[in-house]
Copies of this chain bind each other. A is one copy, B any other.
Amino acid sequence: MENFAYSNPVKILFGKSMINRIGKEASSFGKKALLVYGKSSIKSNGVYDQIVKSLQKASIEFEEHPGVKPNPIISHAREGVKKARETGCDLIIAAGGGSVIDEAKAIAAGIHYQGDLWDFFIGKAKINSALPLITVLTIPATGSEMNSGFVVTNEETKQKYSAGSFYSFPKVSILDPETGYSLPKEQTAYGASDAVAHLLEGYLTTCDEDSEITDNYVFAVFKTIISSCERIFKDPKDYNARASMMWAATLALNGQQALGYKNISFPNHAIEHSLSALYDMPHGLGLAIIIPAYMKHNISKISKRLAKLGGNVFKVSKDTETIKAYENWLRKDLNLKTKLSENSIPREDFSKIADNADGLIKLWGMGISKKETESILEKAF
Protein backbone atom coordinates (compact mmCIF):
# COMPACT_ATOMS: atom_id res chain seq x y z
CA MET A 1 0.00 0.00 0.00
CA GLU A 2 1.46 3.28 -1.15
CA ASN A 3 1.72 6.39 1.03
CA PHE A 4 -0.96 8.98 0.44
CA ALA A 5 -2.21 12.39 1.50
CA TYR A 6 -5.96 12.82 1.45
CA SER A 7 -8.40 15.52 2.30
CA ASN A 8 -11.72 16.41 0.82
CA PRO A 9 -13.34 19.60 2.04
CA VAL A 10 -16.62 19.35 0.07
CA LYS A 11 -19.78 19.67 2.14
CA ILE A 12 -22.41 17.26 0.81
CA LEU A 13 -26.13 17.87 1.23
CA PHE A 14 -27.83 14.70 0.11
CA GLY A 15 -31.50 13.88 -0.30
CA LYS A 16 -34.99 15.05 -1.02
CA SER A 17 -35.65 18.80 -0.98
CA MET A 18 -32.03 19.60 -0.19
CA ILE A 19 -31.92 21.97 -3.18
CA ASN A 20 -34.08 24.36 -1.16
CA ARG A 21 -31.07 25.00 1.05
CA ILE A 22 -28.98 26.52 -1.74
CA GLY A 23 -29.85 30.13 -0.93
CA LYS A 24 -28.74 29.80 2.67
CA GLU A 25 -25.55 28.00 1.65
CA ALA A 26 -24.81 30.56 -1.06
CA SER A 27 -25.14 33.42 1.39
CA SER A 28 -22.05 32.12 3.23
CA PHE A 29 -19.95 32.62 0.13
CA GLY A 30 -21.20 35.54 -1.90
CA LYS A 31 -23.87 37.99 -2.94
CA LYS A 32 -24.19 37.40 -6.66
CA ALA A 33 -23.94 34.07 -8.44
CA LEU A 34 -23.28 33.03 -11.99
CA LEU A 35 -25.80 30.23 -12.54
CA VAL A 36 -24.28 27.77 -15.00
CA TYR A 37 -26.43 25.10 -16.63
CA GLY A 38 -27.01 23.16 -19.83
CA LYS A 39 -30.15 22.99 -21.86
CA SER A 40 -33.74 22.91 -20.74
CA SER A 41 -33.72 19.84 -18.49
CA ILE A 42 -33.31 21.74 -15.22
CA LYS A 43 -36.27 23.88 -16.26
CA SER A 44 -38.54 20.96 -17.07
CA ASN A 45 -37.67 18.92 -13.97
CA GLY A 46 -38.18 21.76 -11.51
CA VAL A 47 -34.55 22.11 -10.40
CA TYR A 48 -34.24 25.60 -11.89
CA ASP A 49 -37.33 26.84 -10.07
CA GLN A 50 -36.19 25.41 -6.75
CA ILE A 51 -32.80 27.10 -7.08
CA VAL A 52 -34.20 30.46 -8.14
CA LYS A 53 -36.77 30.50 -5.36
CA SER A 54 -34.18 29.65 -2.73
CA LEU A 55 -31.69 32.23 -4.01
CA GLN A 56 -34.36 34.93 -4.07
CA LYS A 57 -35.41 34.06 -0.53
CA ALA A 58 -31.81 34.51 0.59
CA SER A 59 -31.45 37.73 -1.44
CA ILE A 60 -28.72 36.26 -3.63
CA GLU A 61 -28.65 37.92 -7.04
CA PHE A 62 -27.70 35.86 -10.06
CA GLU A 63 -26.77 36.00 -13.72
CA GLU A 64 -27.44 33.06 -16.00
CA HIS A 65 -24.94 31.21 -18.14
CA PRO A 66 -26.92 28.48 -19.91
CA GLY A 67 -25.94 26.34 -22.87
CA VAL A 68 -23.17 24.14 -21.48
CA LYS A 69 -22.67 21.22 -23.90
CA PRO A 70 -22.49 17.54 -22.84
CA ASN A 71 -18.81 17.77 -23.73
CA PRO A 72 -18.27 21.33 -22.48
CA ILE A 73 -16.22 23.60 -24.74
CA ILE A 74 -13.59 26.15 -23.83
CA SER A 75 -15.13 29.01 -25.83
CA HIS A 76 -18.31 28.75 -23.77
CA ALA A 77 -16.30 28.66 -20.55
CA ARG A 78 -14.43 31.78 -21.68
CA GLU A 79 -17.79 33.49 -22.21
CA GLY A 80 -18.74 32.46 -18.69
CA VAL A 81 -15.62 34.07 -17.26
CA LYS A 82 -16.38 37.26 -19.19
CA LYS A 83 -19.97 37.32 -18.01
CA ALA A 84 -19.04 36.69 -14.37
CA ARG A 85 -16.46 39.47 -14.47
CA GLU A 86 -18.68 41.99 -16.21
CA THR A 87 -21.62 41.40 -13.92
CA GLY A 88 -19.58 41.26 -10.73
CA CYS A 89 -20.37 37.69 -9.69
CA ASP A 90 -18.53 36.52 -6.58
CA LEU A 91 -19.85 32.96 -6.61
CA ILE A 92 -20.52 30.23 -9.19
CA ILE A 93 -23.48 27.85 -9.04
CA ALA A 94 -23.51 24.82 -11.33
CA ALA A 95 -26.79 22.97 -11.87
CA GLY A 96 -26.61 19.83 -13.97
CA GLY A 97 -24.36 16.86 -14.63
CA GLY A 98 -20.59 16.57 -14.65
CA SER A 99 -20.25 18.66 -17.80
CA VAL A 100 -21.93 21.64 -16.22
CA ILE A 101 -19.92 21.26 -13.03
CA ASP A 102 -16.68 20.92 -14.98
CA GLU A 103 -17.29 24.06 -17.02
CA ALA A 104 -18.28 25.88 -13.83
CA LYS A 105 -14.98 24.85 -12.24
CA ALA A 106 -13.13 26.22 -15.24
CA ILE A 107 -15.01 29.51 -14.97
CA ALA A 108 -14.39 29.71 -11.21
CA ALA A 109 -10.66 29.18 -11.78
CA GLY A 110 -10.48 31.67 -14.60
CA ILE A 111 -11.88 34.75 -12.89
CA HIS A 112 -8.63 35.95 -11.35
CA TYR A 113 -6.37 34.71 -14.14
CA GLN A 114 -5.33 37.23 -16.74
CA GLY A 115 -4.11 34.76 -19.38
CA ASP A 116 -6.20 32.43 -21.50
CA LEU A 117 -8.31 29.81 -19.72
CA TRP A 118 -6.86 26.99 -21.86
CA ASP A 119 -3.46 27.56 -20.22
CA PHE A 120 -4.67 25.56 -17.19
CA PHE A 121 -5.32 22.53 -19.37
CA ILE A 122 -2.03 22.39 -21.22
CA GLY A 123 0.15 22.91 -18.17
CA LYS A 124 1.03 26.49 -19.09
CA ALA A 125 -0.46 27.97 -15.90
CA LYS A 126 -1.34 26.79 -12.40
CA ILE A 127 -4.63 27.54 -10.73
CA ASN A 128 -3.90 29.73 -7.71
CA SER A 129 -7.41 30.81 -6.77
CA ALA A 130 -11.03 30.25 -7.70
CA LEU A 131 -14.42 31.74 -6.94
CA PRO A 132 -16.43 29.64 -4.50
CA LEU A 133 -18.50 27.01 -6.31
CA ILE A 134 -21.77 25.39 -5.25
CA THR A 135 -23.10 22.51 -7.32
CA VAL A 136 -26.51 20.93 -7.73
CA LEU A 137 -25.94 17.52 -9.27
CA THR A 138 -28.61 16.02 -11.51
CA ILE A 139 -26.74 13.12 -13.18
CA PRO A 140 -24.73 10.59 -11.13
CA ALA A 141 -21.65 9.95 -13.23
CA THR A 142 -18.46 11.97 -13.10
CA GLY A 143 -17.87 12.50 -9.38
CA SER A 144 -16.97 16.10 -10.18
CA GLU A 145 -19.29 17.21 -7.36
CA MET A 146 -16.78 15.90 -4.82
CA ASN A 147 -13.40 16.25 -6.47
CA SER A 148 -11.04 18.92 -7.68
CA GLY A 149 -10.65 18.03 -11.35
CA PHE A 150 -12.48 19.06 -14.49
CA VAL A 151 -12.44 18.30 -18.21
CA VAL A 152 -13.15 20.72 -21.04
CA THR A 153 -12.79 20.39 -24.80
CA ASN A 154 -10.97 22.90 -26.95
CA GLU A 155 -13.16 22.70 -30.03
CA GLU A 156 -10.64 24.46 -32.23
CA THR A 157 -7.70 22.19 -31.48
CA LYS A 158 -9.92 19.14 -30.89
CA GLN A 159 -8.34 18.53 -27.50
CA LYS A 160 -10.43 17.22 -24.59
CA TYR A 161 -8.11 17.93 -21.65
CA SER A 162 -8.32 18.13 -17.88
CA ALA A 163 -7.21 20.54 -15.17
CA GLY A 164 -7.57 20.79 -11.43
CA SER A 165 -6.37 22.25 -8.16
CA PHE A 166 -7.19 22.23 -4.48
CA TYR A 167 -9.10 25.49 -5.10
CA SER A 168 -11.40 23.66 -7.50
CA PHE A 169 -13.24 21.54 -4.94
CA PRO A 170 -16.84 22.75 -4.71
CA LYS A 171 -17.63 24.35 -1.36
CA VAL A 172 -21.01 22.65 -1.22
CA SER A 173 -22.58 20.01 -3.44
CA ILE A 174 -26.28 19.24 -3.31
CA LEU A 175 -27.34 15.79 -4.47
CA ASP A 176 -31.05 15.14 -4.80
CA PRO A 177 -31.71 11.63 -6.14
CA GLU A 178 -35.21 12.64 -7.23
CA THR A 179 -33.66 14.70 -10.03
CA GLY A 180 -32.88 11.34 -11.64
CA TYR A 181 -36.55 10.50 -12.20
CA SER A 182 -36.63 12.47 -15.44
CA LEU A 183 -33.30 11.24 -16.78
CA PRO A 184 -33.44 9.45 -20.14
CA LYS A 185 -32.49 5.81 -19.74
CA GLU A 186 -29.28 6.20 -21.73
CA GLN A 187 -28.11 9.01 -19.43
CA THR A 188 -28.39 6.69 -16.45
CA ALA A 189 -26.44 4.09 -18.41
CA TYR A 190 -23.70 6.51 -19.50
CA GLY A 191 -23.39 7.68 -15.91
CA ALA A 192 -23.07 4.14 -14.58
CA SER A 193 -20.46 3.27 -17.19
CA ASP A 194 -18.51 6.43 -16.38
CA ALA A 195 -18.56 5.88 -12.62
CA VAL A 196 -17.40 2.29 -12.97
CA ALA A 197 -14.64 3.46 -15.32
CA HIS A 198 -13.30 5.70 -12.55
CA LEU A 199 -13.08 2.70 -10.25
CA LEU A 200 -11.43 0.55 -12.91
CA GLU A 201 -8.74 3.00 -13.99
CA GLY A 202 -7.14 3.00 -10.55
CA TYR A 203 -7.85 -0.63 -9.78
CA LEU A 204 -6.35 -1.91 -13.04
CA THR A 205 -3.37 0.41 -13.36
CA THR A 206 -1.95 0.37 -9.82
CA CYS A 207 1.58 -0.98 -9.53
CA ASP A 208 1.00 -1.89 -5.89
CA GLU A 209 -1.57 -4.64 -5.85
CA ASP A 210 -1.79 -5.12 -2.08
CA SER A 211 -4.27 -2.50 -0.90
CA GLU A 212 -7.07 -4.71 0.36
CA ILE A 213 -9.14 -1.92 1.88
CA THR A 214 -9.23 0.07 -1.35
CA ASP A 215 -9.89 -3.01 -3.47
CA ASN A 216 -12.84 -3.85 -1.25
CA TYR A 217 -14.04 -0.26 -1.46
CA VAL A 218 -13.89 -0.46 -5.26
CA PHE A 219 -15.85 -3.73 -5.28
CA ALA A 220 -18.47 -2.29 -2.92
CA VAL A 221 -19.09 0.75 -5.08
CA PHE A 222 -19.06 -1.29 -8.31
CA LYS A 223 -21.57 -3.83 -6.94
CA THR A 224 -23.82 -1.03 -5.77
CA ILE A 225 -23.85 0.56 -9.21
CA ILE A 226 -24.79 -2.76 -10.81
CA SER A 227 -27.62 -3.50 -8.38
CA SER A 228 -28.90 0.08 -8.41
CA CYS A 229 -29.04 0.20 -12.21
CA GLU A 230 -30.98 -3.03 -12.27
CA ARG A 231 -33.57 -1.53 -9.96
CA ILE A 232 -33.68 1.81 -11.76
CA PHE A 233 -34.31 0.19 -15.13
CA LYS A 234 -37.18 -1.76 -13.61
CA ASP A 235 -38.61 1.29 -11.86
CA PRO A 236 -37.16 4.71 -12.76
CA LYS A 237 -38.82 6.19 -9.66
CA ASP A 238 -37.20 3.77 -7.21
CA TYR A 239 -35.88 6.47 -4.88
CA ASN A 240 -33.52 4.31 -2.86
CA ALA A 241 -31.95 2.83 -5.98
CA ARG A 242 -31.47 6.34 -7.43
CA ALA A 243 -30.00 7.41 -4.09
CA SER A 244 -27.54 4.52 -3.83
CA MET A 245 -26.55 5.04 -7.45
CA MET A 246 -25.99 8.74 -6.89
CA TRP A 247 -23.85 8.37 -3.79
CA ALA A 248 -21.95 5.45 -5.33
CA ALA A 249 -21.02 7.53 -8.38
CA THR A 250 -19.69 10.23 -6.07
CA LEU A 251 -17.66 7.69 -4.09
CA ALA A 252 -16.27 6.34 -7.36
CA LEU A 253 -14.17 9.46 -7.96
CA ASN A 254 -13.82 11.44 -4.76
CA GLY A 255 -10.23 10.29 -4.34
CA GLN A 256 -10.94 7.41 -1.98
CA GLN A 257 -11.26 4.92 -4.84
CA ALA A 258 -7.49 4.89 -5.34
CA LEU A 259 -5.99 5.50 -1.89
CA GLY A 260 -2.89 3.36 -1.47
CA TYR A 261 -2.72 2.53 -5.15
CA LYS A 262 0.60 3.34 -6.79
CA ASN A 263 1.34 5.27 -9.98
CA ILE A 264 -2.18 4.96 -11.27
CA SER A 265 -3.05 6.38 -14.65
CA PHE A 266 -6.11 6.97 -16.84
CA PRO A 267 -5.28 5.27 -20.15
CA ASN A 268 -8.91 4.61 -21.05
CA HIS A 269 -9.79 8.23 -20.41
CA ALA A 270 -6.95 9.39 -22.64
CA ILE A 271 -8.27 7.34 -25.55
CA GLU A 272 -11.91 8.11 -24.82
CA HIS A 273 -11.22 11.84 -24.70
CA SER A 274 -10.05 11.51 -28.27
CA LEU A 275 -13.38 9.94 -29.27
CA SER A 276 -15.33 12.67 -27.47
CA ALA A 277 -13.18 15.43 -28.95
CA LEU A 278 -13.44 14.11 -32.50
CA TYR A 279 -17.01 12.76 -32.58
CA ASP A 280 -18.66 14.47 -29.59
CA MET A 281 -19.34 11.00 -28.23
CA PRO A 282 -20.92 10.75 -24.73
CA HIS A 283 -18.09 10.11 -22.28
CA GLY A 284 -19.70 7.12 -20.57
CA LEU A 285 -20.37 5.47 -23.91
CA GLY A 286 -16.81 6.02 -25.10
CA LEU A 287 -15.48 4.41 -21.92
CA ALA A 288 -17.81 1.43 -22.37
CA ILE A 289 -16.25 0.95 -25.80
CA ILE A 290 -12.60 1.40 -24.82
CA ILE A 291 -12.31 -0.36 -21.45
CA PRO A 292 -13.23 -3.92 -22.53
CA ALA A 293 -10.75 -3.54 -25.41
CA TYR A 294 -8.12 -2.22 -23.01
CA MET A 295 -8.71 -5.23 -20.77
CA LYS A 296 -8.28 -7.64 -23.68
CA HIS A 297 -5.18 -5.86 -24.90
CA ASN A 298 -3.55 -5.96 -21.45
CA ILE A 299 -4.92 -9.27 -20.25
CA SER A 300 -1.59 -10.90 -19.47
CA LYS A 301 -0.45 -7.90 -17.44
CA ILE A 302 -3.67 -7.50 -15.44
CA SER A 303 -4.82 -11.10 -15.32
CA LYS A 304 -4.72 -11.38 -11.52
CA ARG A 305 -6.51 -8.07 -11.03
CA LEU A 306 -9.23 -9.09 -13.45
CA ALA A 307 -9.70 -12.45 -11.76
CA LYS A 308 -9.97 -10.81 -8.33
CA LEU A 309 -12.44 -8.26 -9.67
CA GLY A 310 -14.53 -10.99 -11.23
CA GLY A 311 -14.58 -13.04 -8.05
CA ASN A 312 -15.74 -10.12 -5.97
CA VAL A 313 -18.16 -8.41 -8.32
CA PHE A 314 -19.41 -10.93 -10.87
CA LYS A 315 -18.97 -14.28 -9.10
CA VAL A 316 -16.66 -15.58 -11.81
CA SER A 317 -13.07 -16.66 -11.35
CA LYS A 318 -11.09 -16.19 -14.56
CA ASP A 319 -9.73 -13.05 -16.20
CA THR A 320 -11.56 -13.76 -19.46
CA GLU A 321 -14.80 -14.39 -17.59
CA THR A 322 -14.48 -11.02 -15.87
CA ILE A 323 -14.14 -9.22 -19.18
CA LYS A 324 -17.10 -11.11 -20.56
CA ALA A 325 -19.24 -10.38 -17.49
CA TYR A 326 -18.32 -6.70 -17.60
CA GLU A 327 -19.11 -6.49 -21.32
CA ASN A 328 -22.39 -8.30 -20.72
CA TRP A 329 -23.30 -5.79 -18.06
CA LEU A 330 -22.55 -2.89 -20.39
CA ARG A 331 -24.40 -4.42 -23.34
CA LYS A 332 -27.32 -6.24 -21.73
CA ASP A 333 -28.00 -4.39 -18.50
CA LEU A 334 -27.03 -0.89 -19.62
CA ASN A 335 -27.98 -1.49 -23.27
CA LEU A 336 -24.86 0.25 -24.57
CA LYS A 337 -23.34 -0.37 -27.99
CA THR A 338 -19.82 -1.22 -26.92
CA LYS A 339 -18.25 -1.47 -30.38
CA LEU A 340 -16.81 1.34 -32.45
CA SER A 341 -18.40 -0.23 -35.52
CA GLU A 342 -21.83 0.04 -33.91
CA ASN A 343 -21.23 3.74 -33.35
CA SER A 344 -20.27 4.64 -36.92
CA ILE A 345 -16.60 5.16 -36.16
CA PRO A 346 -14.73 3.85 -39.21
CA ARG A 347 -11.50 1.89 -39.09
CA GLU A 348 -9.95 4.47 -41.39
CA ASP A 349 -10.07 6.97 -38.52
CA PHE A 350 -7.96 4.88 -36.13
CA SER A 351 -4.76 6.70 -36.94
CA LYS A 352 -6.43 10.09 -36.40
CA ILE A 353 -7.96 8.92 -33.10
CA ALA A 354 -4.62 7.56 -31.92
CA ASP A 355 -2.89 10.79 -32.92
CA ASN A 356 -5.39 12.82 -30.93
CA ALA A 357 -5.11 10.53 -27.91
CA ASP A 358 -1.35 10.75 -28.11
CA GLY A 359 -1.35 14.38 -27.04
CA LEU A 360 -3.02 13.51 -23.76
CA ILE A 361 -1.01 10.32 -23.33
CA LYS A 362 2.18 12.38 -23.57
CA LEU A 363 0.83 15.19 -21.34
CA TRP A 364 -0.10 12.63 -18.69
CA GLY A 365 3.23 10.80 -19.18
CA MET A 366 1.68 7.41 -19.77
CA GLY A 367 3.99 5.81 -22.33
CA ILE A 368 1.40 4.18 -24.56
CA SER A 369 2.52 4.08 -28.18
CA LYS A 370 0.23 5.06 -31.03
CA LYS A 371 0.51 1.51 -32.31
CA GLU A 372 -0.77 0.26 -28.98
CA THR A 373 -3.68 2.69 -29.04
CA GLU A 374 -4.56 1.51 -32.52
CA SER A 375 -4.41 -2.06 -31.35
CA ILE A 376 -6.87 -1.23 -28.54
CA LEU A 377 -9.12 0.52 -31.06
CA GLU A 378 -8.98 -2.56 -33.26
CA LYS A 379 -10.18 -4.69 -30.33
CA ALA A 380 -12.92 -2.12 -29.71
CA PHE A 381 -14.09 -2.23 -33.32
Report if A268 contacts B (CB, 8 A): no
Report if A116 contacts B (CB, 8 A): no
CA A247 to CA B248, docked complex, whole Å: 19
Q: Which of A218-226, A290-298, A338-346, A361-369 contacts B (4 or more CB under 8 A)?
A: A218-226
Minimum CB distance partner of A5 in chain B: B13
A240 touches B1 (CB 8 A): yes
Knowing A8-B8, A18-B3, A221-B216 are in contact, say whether A210-B240 is a contact too (CB < 8 A).
yes
Knowing A213-B244, A217-B220, A224-B212 are in contact, say whether A14-B7 is a contact too (CB < 8 A).
no
Q: What's the minimum C-beta distance from A148 to chain B, rounded to whole angstroms?
A: 14
1/0 contact trace for A217-256 toward B, CB 8 Å?
1011101100110000000000111011001100100000
Q: What's the minimum C-beta distance from A66 to chain B, rounded to whole angstroms?
A: 29
Q: What's the minimum C-beta distance from A132 to chain B, rounded to whole angstroms?
A: 14
Q: What's the minimum C-beta distance from A268 to chain B, rounded to whole angstroms?
A: 24
Interface members, chain A 245-296 (any B CB < 8 Å) = 247-248, 251, 259-260
CA A10 to CA B239, docked complex, whole Å: 31
Knowing A1-B244, A212-B228 are in contact, say whether A7-B9 is a contact too (CB < 8 A).
yes
- Give the oligomeric copy count: 2
Q: What's the minimum C-beta distance from A375 to chain B, rounded to whole angstroms?
A: 33
Report if A15 contacts B (CB, 8 A): yes
Given contacts A213-B247, A216-B220, A220-B220, 18 further A-B contacts (CB under 8 A): A1-B177, A1-B239, A1-B244, A3-B14, A3-B15, A3-B16, A3-B18, A4-B14, A4-B15, A210-B240, A211-B243, A212-B244, A213-B244, A213-B251, A216-B224, A217-B217, A244-B260, A247-B260
Q: Which of A's residues lie within 8 Å of B, judged by CB?
A: 1-18, 177, 210-214, 216-217, 219-221, 223-224, 227-228, 239-241, 243-244, 247-248, 251, 259-260
